[in-house]
Amino acid sequence: MKGHVVKREEIDPRVRASMYDLFCQQFDGVSFDVFAKDLEQKNWVLLLQDEDGVLCGFSSMDIYDIEVDGQVVSVVYSGDTVVNSETWGDSALSYYWMGAIDYLRRLYKKERLYWFLLVSGYRTYRFLPVYSTTFYPRHDEPTPDNVQAIMDTVASARFGANYNAETGIVRLDAPAKLKGGYRGIPENRLSDPHIAFFAERNPDHEQGDELVCFAILAEDELTRLGRRMWKKGRRLFPEIDDE
């Protein structure tokens, strides 16, 4: 696969339609109008294509600054992220996404970005400990107050009354529900403490409930594998200097 990051407003209508078709392969419950409205709230999109130029994955992103307790923090909010299930064994999404984030970090001249994402599937949550050393919520330590403040501020600003600060859950008016073949957690996967924690914190994930999650996107906050993906991705986006 090959990937490139584009401004949301520059996406061709035919590509938007392909994105929605890919989304519908794995999710139910979201009309094209709702999908398009959500996309309009992002400012960048990573597109992944196969060697024939066919769209096989995408991830929308919104990068912006927000004030939390009197301090300005730079946030990247992950929107819809879908990769054709036939390519799940390919790590292209990981390193292209890391490369895109590093490219945008340099473009916006930020030292680091705070990653805000909603998680309704255990596979997505499991990526956090694979790539990040600093992520929340997690089973082995409580969420620090300053991190919780960022999560609450961003979630409340974006989702209003749909966000429950006590549970950390966002319940959307039109939730995206994973289709039958992708829904649920296999019993044997619950032996993984990260997955068991996700299941406990988001008991209605099969109905589209989303758990608010957070991570720090900086090379020194990544696992060894995460740093390898970060460095590999950076080579794909060399246009912006660090200065």
Residue 242 maps to a domain: no
Contact 87, 156 (CB under 8 A): no
Residue 84's pLDDT is 83
Q: Show pLDDT as tens, one digit a residue, over the chain (243 residues).
A: 788 899 999 999 999 999 999 999 989 989 999 999 999 999 999 999 988 888 999 999 999 999 999 999 999 999 888 988 665 556 788 889 999 998 999 899 998 899 999 999 999 999 999 999 999 999 999 999 999 999 999 999 999 999 999 999 999 998 988 887 788 899 999 999 999 999 999 999 999 999 999 999 988 999 999 999 999 888 888 665 544
Residues of the domain holding 170: 2-234
Backbone angles phi, psi at 132, to 5 degrees: -120, 140
Residue 239 maps to a domain: no
Residue 120's pLDDT is 93
Bridge partners (DSSP) of residue 44 are 7, 61
Would you call the peptide bond into 129 cis, given omega within 30 degrees of 0 as the criterion? Answer: no
Residue 143 maps to a domain: yes
Residue 145 maps to a domain: yes
Contact 27, 21 (CB under 8 A): no
Contact 216, 115 (CB under 8 A): yes
Q: Which residues contact 27 (CB under 8 A, 6 or more apart)?
A: 82, 176, 177, 178, 179
Residue 44 maps to a domain: yes
User: Which amino acid, one-letter code, is at 35?
Assistant: F
Q: Which of 48, 104, 47, 106 has the alpha carbon at shortest distance from 77?
A: 104
Residue 27 maps to a domain: yes
Q: Which of 161, 152, 22 has the alpha carbon at shortest distance from 80?
A: 22
pTM passes above 0.85:
yes
43 Cα distance to chain centroid: 14
Q: What is the DSSP letter of 118?
A: E
Residue 240 maps to a domain: no
Look up residue 74 and give its two tokens: 């730079």
- Total number of domains constituting the chain: 1
Residue 171's pLDDT is 96
Residue 177 maps to a domain: yes
CATH number of the domain residue 165 falls in: 3.40.630.30
